[in-house]
């Protein structure tokens, strides 16, 4: 049971990184991993999902609109099944996310994917976030009020 929760946590963390990364960056990093033989269970395809919202964050839910998503599913030769979903119409990214999801579950490939794909992508995301924060801080204006001493 604890092992299942740990695996679920690893998959969630991997999906968070992959979903927020560019397809070109994922492809570049994935090229460094010896990708095992795999078969496509679900060809990458585009579709729509309903986006729901809440007024004030805790009000009654309502249908906000639709968003385009891409999805794919693959199975490694060792039996691990991976699923990939991403916002937008990037079929290659959905396929790469599915492949990474399957490899994260594999005992033989999990460490390589973490070291060669996920860790560099995480570091790149942190650097981008830091750079954006520094750019925003450079334009920061400190407002203060001077109290006039009349009286």
pLDDT digits (tens, 9 = 90+) for 107-129: 899 999 999 999 999 999 999 99
Q: pLDDT-based confidence at 6, cuts 50/70/90? A: confident
What pLDDT sits at residue 99? Answer: 95
CA dist 108 to 3, 77, 86, 105, 143, Å?
16, 12, 26, 9, 56
Helix ranges restricted to H, 31-118: 91-105, 110-113
Burial 64-93 (b: 16+ CB within 10 A, else e): eeeeebbbbbbbbeeebebbbbbeeebbeb
Whether residue 147 has pLDDT greater than 60: yes
Q: pLDDT-based confidence at 145, cuts 50/70/90? A: low
Interatomic CA distance for residues 15 and 9, integer angstroms = 10
Q: Which helix (H) or strand (E) holds 40?
A: strand 38-54
**118, two tokens:** 């996920």
Whether residue 135 has pLDDT greater than 90: no
Pairing of strands 61-76, 38-54: antiparallel
Number of residues written out for the chain: 151
% of the chain residues with pLDDT over 90 = 67
> Which carries the bigger pLDDT value, residue 3 or residue 124?
124
- Nearest of 61, 43, 39, 60 to residue 52 by alpha carbon: 61
25-67 pLDDT, tens digit each: 999 999 888 887 899 999 999 999 999 998 887 888 999 999 9
Whether residue 148 has pLDDT greater than 80: no
Q: Average pLDDT over the chain, rounded to whole? A: 90
Q: pLDDT-based confidence at 142, cuts 50/70/90? A: confident
* Domain ranges for the chain: 2-132
pTM tops 0.85:
no
Helix ranges restricted to H, the chain: 2-19, 23-30, 91-105, 110-113, 119-138
CB 83 within 8 Å of CB 72: yes
């Amino acid at each position: 049971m604890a092992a299942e929760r740990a695996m679920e946590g690893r998959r969630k963390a991997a999906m968070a990184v992959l979903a927020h990364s560019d397809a070109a960056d994922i492809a570049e990093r994935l090229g460094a991993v010896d990708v095992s033989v795999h078969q496509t269970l679900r060809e990458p395809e585009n579709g729509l999902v309903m986006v729901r919202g809440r007024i004030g964050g805790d009000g009654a839910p309502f249908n906000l609109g639709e968003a385009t998503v891409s999805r794919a599913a693959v199975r490694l030769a060792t039996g691990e099944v991976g699923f990939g979903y991403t916002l937008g119409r990037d079929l290659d990214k959905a396929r790469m996310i599915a492949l990474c999801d399957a490899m994260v579950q594999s005992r033989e490939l999990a460490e390589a994917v973490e070291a060669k794909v996920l860790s560099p992508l995480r570091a790149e995301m942190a650097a981008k976030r830091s750079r954006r924060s520094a750019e925003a801080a450079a334009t920061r204006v400190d407002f203060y009020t001077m109290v006039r001493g009349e009286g």
